Chains A and B, each alone.
Chain A
Amino acid sequence: MTTTTPASSKAPTEPPVKRRMPRLSINLRQYGIVAALAVIVILFQILTDGRLLLPGNVNNLIQQNAYVLILAIGMVIVIIAGHIDLSVGSVVAMVGAVAAISMNNWGLPWWGAVIVSLVVGAMVGAWQGYWVAFVGIPAFIVTLAGMLIFRGLTLVLLTGGTISGLPAEFTAIGAGWLPSFLGEVAGRDLLTLLLGILTAVALIVFSLRTRATLAKLDLPREPAASMWTKNGIAAIAIIWFAWLLSGYSGTPIILIVLAALILIYNFVLNRTVFGRHVYAMGGNLFAAVMSGVKTKWVNFFIFVNMGVLAGLAGVVSTARAGGAVASAGQNYELDAIAAVFIGGAAVQGGVGTVVGAVVGGLVMGVLNMGLSILSVDAAWQMTIKGLVLLLAVAFDIFNKRRAGGR
């Protein structure tokens, strides 16, 4: 449109245009939670006399918390769209039972059990998505019902007992490491070190390439100094992390799975039409409808996706536990929801990131581990975690009020 807007003569009152770093304000929130994680890590490192970051503990941090991180990735999408899912803990237990039965009773190989688990998860998600999206029952109710239904079905499947003695290939998913192809140097796994260095290099190369594209298209980009500081710190942290892991048993298999999930879902939320529709619906559902978003189908797929990830979390936690128990997955939904909100998602929807949710999950994980090392009583651990959740969200609300009240 070659504009004829005659009022462009009024333009001089326009504020001076600054086009660098347009996303600064959003990024600050994201950095805020990363900084909070760093503070908590340093705090517990001091309080535990350096025991928190012993290689074995770092390894356990990943393997113990993998299920929360996987659930948090699905949950952040659910919460951005303005819903909630209370059933994931029960789904984890039920899928675990199905996986164990499929291997021990039906004789499926480990990979067959994984496929069956993901399919069952998807079916659970489709069931819940149908009631939420097409019938219009609030997700809180549907998934509260799901919490009971799937816990009940787990008890039916396991008839009150437990199934153990799962194949080693299966348990390796949750409790195993990549084989040490490249051997060891001074007791450290070379493959792990190499993966760490490669990841750090890939991160920097990727940022530089993005910057070059932005420059070519004459789009705004963050200052070079800020980019180098950010990526420099991240690269050092990654290599240091790899160094710690290499001194234990190497790279946990689940870490590779997690890294892939984070990359994929970060891409889905930031770069795809589906992801944009999720944010649009959470930001203003009516406006999304009036812009032609097929909100029912988007809602349906959000729950199918949550179901698949809950299925994966079921595989992971069953593998780590080495067997299926009817009481598995208790309170997992609360851990995942807490991680998402600590990670900066908004209760009313429209706001949240995959990275934030994962960091929020790690905050909870470090708290758990640090308090355990300090032999803090389980009752107090729970109390402290509750307070942290409350304070994290309160901090966010104060921040928003200050920003909004200018």
Chain B
Amino acid sequence: MEHSIILRMNNIVKDFNGVKALDGVSLEVTRGQVHGICGENGAGKSTLMKVLSGVYPVGSFDGTIEFEDHEVAYKTINDSEHDGIVIIHQELALSPYLSIAENIFLGNENATRGVIDWNKTNREAALLLARVGLNENPATKILELGVGKQQLVEIAKALSKRVKLLILDEPTAALNDEDSTHLLGLIDHLRTQGITCIIISHKLKEIKRIADTVTVIRDGKTIETIDMKGPDATEAHIIRAMVGRDLNNLFPPREPAVGAEVLRVENWTVHHPVDVARKVVDGASFTVKAGEIVGFAGLMGAGRTELAMSLFGHSYGTNISGQVYKNGTEIHMRTVGEAIQHGFAYATEDRKRYGLNLIGDITVNVSAAALAKLAKYGVIDKHREYKVADSYRQKMNIKAPSVASITGKLSGGNQQKVVLSKWIFSGPDVLILDEPTRGIDVGAKYEIYGIINELAAQGKAVIVISSELPELIGICDRIYAISEGKLTGEVDKADASQETLMHYMTAGKD
């Protein structure tokens, strides 16, 4: 097979309101190869693929794209699909109540004057299913299929569009081992049929097994392109390229004063709420002491948030088992209310969806988790409520004209401070902060770190979940690594390096 270049992306720059998500990324993909793209969460991988596929239309970014030796200007996803570029997103985009065949040809129906030829549709769908190795009736509804099979339907749909370049974003993140193996085999098979494939993955073992070439992206820049048949094709090398960044003085100084054990979790196991057989958290055991900041490092989908939410009043998952001890006594938290009563607080990862009443003002958000403290016989003391909210506005330096400002109009950093105020006011002993600085600018991050330090100094047990390894290393006393639902490592601050953590975080079940 000739080795021509099928895709060239030159010097792509894309910014969101002044924040550069891509800062001069270049990418060359050889025809007929599997090209891996690696990088930390937020490095810009998905943004790059959205630029390529026309989700971000031409003109909304700088740089040029050449596909099959022609410069292209995609305005919509349809334009790129017309050229044979198909992207399969992490969140599958199938319609659950339609059949496999209907989904494959959705938007591209075998129809004459609006009337669908069902025989042709089902016949062609069956042929496509055979190509991806899925042994199902094309009339089966999507909701009857597991995630792995749905992934195959997505690929069959791509094949129906005469795909030349198939882009898979984290295709195995939600799959079990067997489905993953099957999928990787299919990608191998497609390669022999001349279909070029870009695969974004955190799982370096998979990348190493399947990719011919790997491009590493970090902070919106191309760092390195590695020939996977060459001498640099090691996981260690890729990890170094992914994380190699200096830790400047991004973190306020702190003198840890660690006391007695506050929280001990033993053998915590959580099953997926729908796919009940799958363990999302698998026998996790850990401890947190008073005044200690403990980090949880894990890649997306590793089970970090699921661990936190299941602890916090069984907010996630089914068939939850394991023991939780607080100050040496076993406790049970079956509802969020019980968790709050036991002195737990959980600042959610997605603050807009789970953390804030965006149409409410700062006051109602700050008091939301501890209204009982402000009420007598069910009647709220609004004057005290205002004073409490206003004192947090000042202490936390929430930049808003008054506590009557609507939280939906605040910046991300200030919204996060409102969330933290809410949980600090609830008077917790154990605070779980899930991605406390996601989407927040550097200055506000520094302030949030200051607040976290202060909480630890007050003797609270603080858990920080983060995708940003420098952040965890910068603020935590101890870091647990989680991978595929299991705690795969525990590292003290002194021994913590991004390479070590990434090693544990990418550790497979084997």
Do residues B402 and A276 form an inter-chain contact, with CB atoms below 8 A?
no
B60 CB-CB contact with A under 8 Å: no
Residues on the B chain within 8 Å of A229, using CB: none
Do residues B401 and A283 form an inter-chain contact, with CB atoms below 8 A?
no
Do residues A287 and B368 form an inter-chain contact, with CB atoms below 8 A?
yes
A19 CB-CB contact with B under 8 Å: yes
Residues on the B chain within 8 Å of A351, using CB: 359
Residues on the B chain within 8 Å of A1, using CB: 395, 424, 454-455, 458
Interface on chain B toward A: helix, strand, loop, or mixed SS? helix
Give chain A nearest CB distance to B326 CB in angstroms.
17
B372 CB-CB contact with A under 8 Å: yes
Query: Which B8-35 residues have a C-beta within 8 angstroms of A?
Result: none
B346 CB-CB contact with A under 8 Å: yes
Residue of A nearest to B454 (CB): A4
Give chain A nearest CB distance to B159 CB in angstroms.
38
Interface size bracket, A side: 35 or more
Residues on the B chain within 8 Å of A217, using CB: 383, 387
Query: Which B174-211 residues have a C-beta within 8 angstroms of A?
Result: none
Per the bound structure, the CA–CA distance linking A286 and B340 in Å amounts to: 16
Against A, the Cβ 8 Å flags (1 = close, 0 = not) of B338-351 are: 01100000101000
Residue of A nearest to B347 (CB): A290
Residues on the B chain within 8 Å of A346, using CB: 359
Query: Which A252-279 residues have a C-beta within 8 angstroms of B?
Result: 270-274, 276-277, 279
Interface size bracket, B side: 35 or more
Residues on the A chain within 8 Å of B383, using CB: 213-214, 217, 219
Do residues B403 and A287 form an inter-chain contact, with CB atoms below 8 A?
no
Residues on the B chain within 8 Å of A280, using CB: 357, 360, 364, 368
B399 CB-CB contact with A under 8 Å: yes
Residue of A nearest to B445 (CB): A7
Per the bound structure, the CA–CA distance linking A293 and B364 in Å amounts to: 13
With A219-B387, A280-B364: A291-B422 Cβ-Cβ less than 8 Å: yes
Per the bound structure, the CA–CA distance linking A346 and B457 in Å amounts to: 44
Give chain A nearest CB distance to B218 CB in angstroms.
26
Per the bound structure, the CA–CA distance linking A288 and B386 in Å amounts to: 20
Number of A-B pairs whose CB atoms are under 8 Å? 134
Residue of B nearest to A283 (CB): B357
Query: Which B403-425 residues have a C-beta within 8 angstroms of A?
Result: 403-404, 422, 424
Do residues B450 and A5 form an inter-chain contact, with CB atoms below 8 A?
yes
Do residues B387 and A22 form an inter-chain contact, with CB atoms below 8 A?
no
User: At the interface with chain A, which of B276-284, B373-381, B478-486?
Assistant: B373-381
Give chain B nearest CB distance to A181 CB in angstroms.
34
Do residues B348 and A290 form an inter-chain contact, with CB atoms below 8 A?
yes
Per the bound structure, the CA–CA distance linking A292 and B397 in Å amounts to: 26
Residues on the B chain within 8 Å of A277, using CB: 371
B355 CB-CB contact with A under 8 Å: yes
Query: Which A210-246 residues have a C-beta within 8 angstroms of B?
Result: 213-214, 217, 219-220
Per the bound structure, the CA–CA distance linking A77 and B447 in Å amounts to: 39
Do residues A283 and B443 form an inter-chain contact, with CB atoms below 8 A?
no
A294 CB-CB contact with B under 8 Å: yes
Do residues A290 and B404 form an inter-chain contact, with CB atoms below 8 A?
no
Residues on the B chain within 8 Å of A8, using CB: 397
Give chain A nearest CB distance to B445 CB in angstroms.
9
Per the bound structure, the CA–CA distance linking A188 and B101 in Å amounts to: 80
